[in-house]
Amino acid sequence: MKLRIGHLYPDLLNLYGDRGNIQCMKKRCEWRGISAEIQEYRLGDRIDFENLDIVLLGGGSDREQRIVCEKLKKIKSDFKEYVEDSGSVIAICGGYQLLGHYYDTSEGRMEGLSLVDLYTEQGNPRLISNIVIQNDHFSMPVVGFENHGGRTYIGENQPFGRVVFGHGNNDDGKTEGVIYKNVIGTYLHGPLLPKNPEVCDYLLKNALERRYGNGELMPLDDKEEIEANTYIAKRFPG
Ligand code: GLN
């Protein structure tokens, strides 16, 4: 079995080690005898969504986000088709904001991909914190680090988690991120997946299920990952 992971614009959207998420997915596949092929895309490259199983969009500064969003119109309809066909996506911070309709900043509006019904508005101050959230789908809390000026409004969509410690989507202290079909959007940098192996496996499972009709994953020894997660969760208990 093989999964193809597409990393969109790693030269621009690459804050705080988002690339580590790619390494994590690759390793957790390989440890189970599943091969993982990583394909990086630069601005202007044609993206063959039909061959992809997981797409990662990382975080970026407002300046870099603006460069990316200029080009998004070209991939919008193919990306939409992929998402509606249950393609897996993990989008972090700036990448998460780009999933929505727009991101309004003092420098003007950045049009998003409109893949998920949400929008973002810049606010003050920046929301910078360690963050712990709870999603009842996972046995462990999900931990990370957030640093964003944007406040994201997800409407009736399902959040990625409930905020235990930190700011989350818009500092209302309630929701963090979004889940829509097999898309996760989140403000959690960190990198996210190495410290939250259940989230990584959730993405792999969904992708395998879609491609091969069987998302069963062999359990791994996650002692170190669990220790890293527990350390943060205990330090910031809410
Ligand atoms: N530029 C966006 C913001 O400040 C996202 C930042 C990020 O990806 N860390 O809200």
What pLDDT was estimated at residue 218?
97
What pLDDT was estimated at residue 128?
97
Which residues are bridge partners to 104 per DSSP? 109, 121
pLDDT by position in tens, the chain (length 238): 999 999 999 988 888 777 899 999 999 999 999 999 999 999 989 999 999 999 999 988 888 899 998 888 889 999 999 999 999 999 999 999 999 999 999 999 999 999 999 999 999 999 999 999 999 999 999 999 999 999 999 999 999 999 999 999 999 879 999 999 999 999 998 789 999 999 999 999 999 999 999 999 999 999 999 999 999 999 999 8
For 234, half-sphere exposure in the C-beta direction (CA atoms, 13 angstrom radius) is: 6
Given 24, 29, 69, 93, the catalytic residue: 93
Nearest to 40 by CA among 61, 16, 11, 65: 11
What pLDDT was estimated at residue 5?
98
How many angstroms is it from 44 CA to the middle of ligand 1?
A: 22
pLDDT tens track for 28-54 = 999 999 999 999 999 989 999 999 999
Count, in order, helices (H) and strands (E) of the chain. Answer: 6, 12
Given 7, 148, 167, 189, the catalytic residue: 189
The one-character DSSP state at 16 is G
User: Given the CA of residue 93, which atom of ligand 1 is nearest to it?
Assistant: 8
Distances (CA, A) of 52 to 94, 209, 235: 21, 13, 38
101 is a catalytic site residue: no
The one-character DSSP state at 173 is S
167 in contact with ligand 1, CB cutoff 6 A: no
| Nearest CA owner, ligand 1 atom 5 | 94
93 is a catalytic site residue: yes
> What's the pTM?
0.97
